[in-house]
Amino acid sequence: MGTLLTYFLRRVNFFIWNRMSNVFTQKENWSRRDVLKSAACGFGSLAFSGMAQAATGNAFHHTPRAKRVIFLFMHGGPSQVDTFDYKPELQRRDGQKLPFAPAKNLDPSATSQAKLMQSPWSFNQYGGSGLWVSDLFPEVAKHADDLCVVRSMQSTGQSHGQAVCMLHTGTDNFVRPSVGSWVSYGLGSENQDLPGFISISPSASHGGPRNYGTAFLPAAHQATTIGQNGKLDAKANFRYLASTAPASLQQRKLEFLQMMNREHLGRTGHAPVEGMIASMELAYRMQSAAPPVIGIEDEPEHIRALYGIGTEATDNFGRQCLLARRFAEAGVRYLQVSTPNVWDQHGGLKKNHEKNALAVDKPIAGLLTDLKQRGLLEDTLVVWGGEFGRTPIAQGTDGRDHNPQGFTMWLAGGGVKGGLAYGETDEFGYFAVKDKVHMHDLHATMLHLLGLDHMKLTYRYAGRDFRLTDVYGEVVKGIMA
């Protein structure tokens, strides 16, 4: 019977952000028989047949190296050869024709000429590790010895829509659960009063909510969002969280409502009503638990300054990063932090990459410093990158086209080797050639660091076991600390 009980608790867990079990255990008269009865005839057993077969959640497959993830998404695709993938050969052969065939399906305005374009920024080596970082990221560069720079990233999708979905959901064309939803499904939240997956200022375009949606996973694993399109308003809040009524009024009303619901439960014995009663209580608690986390105003001035808050260029992303740290501290599993869709420099590379990097450099460095000084970096995995990189060949005179064939992302913290440059692109930074890491591999690795096996974290939907990495993905052992 143990399995049935576990099974029921898992079902309970998933409908209520996975800490419902303690609500039930507090009930004195919750007999094993009641559990069995509810489990069997309870909340629309038809609806949950999918879950019944696929209750893999809430269990580590192995010892985790990280407890949570902060994913810093650079929407639009920053250029690897202008940031973290230094290519002297590209600098030397500026203006020359690419000596091999460019990637398929590029814009013909880039490929008809296929001329190499050097980076307008210079590169320097930083830290004990001597990692190369361009002048675009002077602050992040100071953390070189914490960065694990993967220079051989590859992804699928030559256009934003596909590549953004690939990065967030592991597929460029189908509708599938997002990474954060998988993590929430697999591990739940560490904080019973907060969701397990929060997306800060997600984009409405290029798939929009699909990038933090659950697709066919239970709806509870959808991200809760705050802010949108890379902007975080100072008054941003979770939807419906703020009560318009005075606390005393709400409390009085809630009392009445719960009484009604309990009587209804008594008459019907219908298990979902029990779930509804518990979720009402949780909702009420959330109303008081969330605002203190969201309100960054009580952070001391030196911390706010660390993130660049108060300085025009960095204020917005600084607040996003600080909020991410506060959520991470409060136990949220998966945090997605997005810039606006600004990194897409088909033209105006010099001016705009500079502006974009300026807006995020200090906030990101601040986040790394802050996580470290609080001892959070050890078990927080920070991931930085865009949906793809950019071509070393020019588009027009001052632009680069999309490049999922080879680009750079970096990781820091929870379980990865700092000061490491992993993988290589060719001499110009175009195609990944050595120790290639596909987006599927990154996903597999992120799950691995969280204690989840990407082959085992599955969900049965419409007669098939789905997983984040589909039939692909290999854990990149070479980057583990």
Partner 1 sequence: MSFRFSIAAGAAFNLAITPLIATEDLAFFENQVRPILVKHCHECHSEESDKRKGGLWLDRRSAWELGGDGGPAIIPGDPEKSLLIHSVRYGDPDLQMPPKSKLSSEEIGVLEKWVAIGAPDPRDAAMGTGVRKEPINYEAARKEWAFRPVSKPSLPEVKDTSWPKKATDRFVLAGLESEKLAPAAEANPASLLRRVHYDLSGLPPTVAEMDAFEADPSPEAFERIVNELLDRPSFGEKWGRHWLDVARYADSNGGDRNYTFYQAWRYRNYVIDAFNRDKPYYEFIREQVAGDLMKAENHEQRRERLIASTFLSLGPKMLTERDKEKLWLDTVDEQIDTLGRAFLGLTMGCARCHDHKFDPVSQEDYYAVAGIFRSTEIVTGTRNGCVNVASWIEQPLPLAGGVDPELKKRVDRLELAMRLTVEKSYMKKAGGKMALGDLPLAGVIYDETDAELVGEWKSSTLSPSRFGDGYIHDDQKGKGERKAVFRGSVPETGLYEVRVAYSAQANRASRVPIRITGEAGAEVVYLDQTRTPQVAGLFQPVGQFRFEKGGNCAVTVETGGTEGGYVIVDAVQFIAVGDIDREKTQLASAGGTESDPLFRMSEGELKKELDRLIEELKGEELAMAPRDAKEPFDVNLRVRGEVAQLGPLVPRGFPKIVVSGEESGIPDQRSGRLELAGWLTSRDNGLLDRVVVNRIWAHLFGRGIVETVDNFGRLGSGPTHPELLDYLAATFREGGGSFKSLIRELVLSHTYRLSASAEEELAEADPANRFFGRQNRRRLTAEEMRDSVLFLSGQLDRTPGTATATAIGIDLDNPLSFSKDRKRTVYLPVARNNPSTELTLFDGANPDFVSGQRIETTVPTQALYLLNSEFLQAQAMDIGRLAAGQGGLPGTEVDWLYRTLLGRTPNPVERERALGLIADLSGGSEEPKDLEEANGHLAHLLLASSEFLYLE
Contact positions with partner 1 (CB under 8 A) in 149-168: 158-162, 164-165
User: What tokens were used for 369?
Assistant: 């410093």
Strands 380-385 and 224-226, by their bridges, are: unpaired
By beta-carbon proximity to partner 1, the closer residue of 19 and 417 is 19
- Give the Cα separation of 229 and 199 in Å (integer): 11
User: Which listed range, 39-47, 60-68, 305-313, 408-416, lies at the site for partner 1 (CB under 8 A)?
Assistant: 39-47
Give the shortest CB-240-to-partner 1 separation in angstroms: 4
Q: Which residues from 350-409 bind partner 1, rule CB under 8 A?
A: 405
Question: DSSP label at 153?
Answer: E
By beta-carbon proximity to partner 1, the closer residue of 120 and 208 is 208
Residue 480 makes contact with partner 1 by CB under 8 A? no
**Per-residue contact track with partner 1, 419 to 458, x per CB under 8 A?**
--------------xxxx----------------------
Residue 27 makes contact with partner 1 by CB under 8 A? no
| List of residues 6+ apart from 378 with CB closer than 8 A | 413, 414
Burial state string for 143-154 with b = 16 or more CB within 10 A and e = fewer than 16 = bbebbbbbbbbb
By beta-carbon proximity to partner 1, the closer residue of 240 and 375 is 240
Q: Are 383 and 338 in contact (CB under 8 A)?
A: no
Residue 279 makes contact with partner 1 by CB under 8 A? yes
Q: What are phi and psi of 157, to 5 degrees?
A: 115, 110
Residue 4 makes contact with partner 1 by CB under 8 A? no
By beta-carbon proximity to partner 1, the closer residue of 125 and 260 is 260
Residue 103 makes contact with partner 1 by CB under 8 A? yes
Residue of 117, 200, 273, 376 that binds partner 1 (CB under 8 A)? 273
- Give the Cα separation of 8 and 381 in Å (integer): 31
Q: Which residue is associated with the tokens 């004195």?
A: 28
Residue 5 makes contact with partner 1 by CB under 8 A? no
Residue of 220, 324, 444, 447 that binds partner 1 (CB under 8 A)? 220
Strands (E), 60-144: 68-73, 123-126, 131-134
Q: Is 307 left (phi over 0), alpha (psi -120 to 50) or beta?
A: alpha
User: What tokens were used for 464?
Assistant: 């098939």
- Give the Cα separation of 245 and 270 in Å (integer): 30
Question: DSSP label at 397?
Answer: T
User: Which listed range, 81-89, 271-279, 302-310, 362-370, lies at the site for partner 1 (CB under 8 A)?
Assistant: 271-279
User: Which listed range, 258-266, 331-339, 352-360, 410-418, lies at the site for partner 1 (CB under 8 A)?
Assistant: 258-266
User: Which listed range, 23-31, 67-75, 282-290, 352-360, lies at the site for partner 1 (CB under 8 A)?
Assistant: 282-290
